[in-house]
A = this chain, B = another copy of it.
Amino acid sequence: MMKPVRIALDAMGGDHGPEVIIPGAARALERRPDIRFTFFGDATVVQPILDSYAQLAKTSSLVHTDVAIRMDDKPSQALRSGRRTSSMWLTIEAVKKSQADVAVSAGNTGALMAMAKTCLHMMPNIDRPAMAAIWPTIKGRTIVLDVGASIGADAQHLVNLAIMGSAMARIVLAVERPHVGLLNIGSEEIKGIEEVKTASRMLRQNAFPNLDYYGFVEGGDIGKGTVDVVVTEGFAGNIALKTAEGTATQIGQWLREALGRDMFSKIGYLFARKAFAELRAKLDPRNVNGGTFLGLDGIVIKSHGSSDAVGTANAIEIAYNMARHDLLSKIRESLALSHAENLSPPKLLAADKS
């Protein structure tokens, strides 16, 4: 049997806490029996729930703490009140101490990011964290990053995002040299942000071993699956992600309204209900739950605060895969190759039409 994947899980995170997180873990364990969970949270609440999942209780351990970060705590507040003591901190620290391979929390994003930075530190050559989303497309899936961990990015950071996102895509999409696109707003000369143009030149001129640079992509290319990895800074990336989710919700509501409008439509719905179930599954936000923090010296997965057990299990599945396929080593290897041999700033002076 393979070595188990050890997952540290913040049992108190999210809007619903252990009542959905423990069932979510049980669900994930059914799919991946080689997970060993360590839960962090209030034992008086968590233990009774855990007791009703025999297999999970048998294979996991629970570390008690009665400090929990609230969903509306600001990052600075969370660090003041919960450093070294909260379930969120202890979950991350388990990775730091090599007691776990990956940490998962549905706690608030800002606090989780601040704690992860403080506890784990950044990787060499990376100065700020990123969050990567796995975005469903017509062709399959695309990694999009940064979806909101950091605002703004210079060219070097965008290149680092390309490298880290590609390492993740190698795992998620099982392609050796993922196609990488830089998000931009068209190719007319007055358009395009300076940093994005410079990053494009750097990606084109330097032969990065583990990625294949495609060029600029636009917002509409994400859902088309034009490339395997879409790179952008966190402000635009977060707005793209939230806008796409909002559009999916909006169209879903229009569809429901249209199908409820008269008897024929309702009958049609009944006949085609398998088709609608298939569509609903594709639009289910729980299936894309789980943001991966990148750039930190340890793997942390952010589950959505409003997730139920199904969503939690999906975030755990991402955590499992990132740990099982050793995301960190893949990133370190790619970064080392890129920074040692390939980056050649002098070439940047050359005129390039990319």
A242 to B238, CA, bound (A): 14
Some 7 contacts from A to B, beta carbons below 8 A apart, are A74-B189, A111-B188, A193-B235, A222-B246, A223-B247, A223-B249, A248-B251
Whether the Cβ atoms of B193 and A151 lie closer than 8 Å is yes
Total A residues in contact with B, Cβ cutoff 8 Å = 71
Using A224-B250, A249-B220, A274-B261 as known contacts, say yes or no to A189 and B76 having CB atoms under 8 A apart.
Answer: yes
| Identical copies in the complex | 2
Contact bitstring A102-127, B, C-beta under 8 A = 1, else 0 = 00000011110110000000000000
Contacts of A236 in B (CB 8 A): 235-236, 239
A108 to B191, CA, bound (A): 12
Tell me what chain A mostly uses at the interface: helix, strand, loop, or mixed.
Answer: helix
CB-contacts of A227-243 with B (<8 A): 232, 234-236, 238-243
| A240 and chain B: residue at smallest CB distance | B243
Distance between A266 CB and nearest chain B CB, rounded to angstroms:
8
Q: Please tell me which stretch of A43-51, A159-167, A252-260, A309-317 contacts chain B, meaning at least 4 of its Cβ atoms lie within 8 angstroms of it.
A: A252-260
Contacts of A261 in B (CB 8 A): 274-275, 278
Q: Does A215 touch B at the CB level, under 8 Å? A: no
| A189 and chain B: residue at smallest CB distance | B74
Contacts of A186 in B (CB 8 A): 109-110, 148, 238
Q: Does A283 touch B at the CB level, under 8 Å? A: yes
Starting from the known contacts A219-B239, A235-B236, 20 additional A-B residue pairs (CB-CB under 8 Å) come to: A74-B188, A75-B189, A110-B190, A185-B239, A220-B245, A222-B243, A223-B246, A224-B250, A236-B236, A244-B244, A244-B247, A258-B279, A259-B272, A259-B275, A261-B278, A262-B275, A264-B274, A265-B271, A265-B272, A268-B273
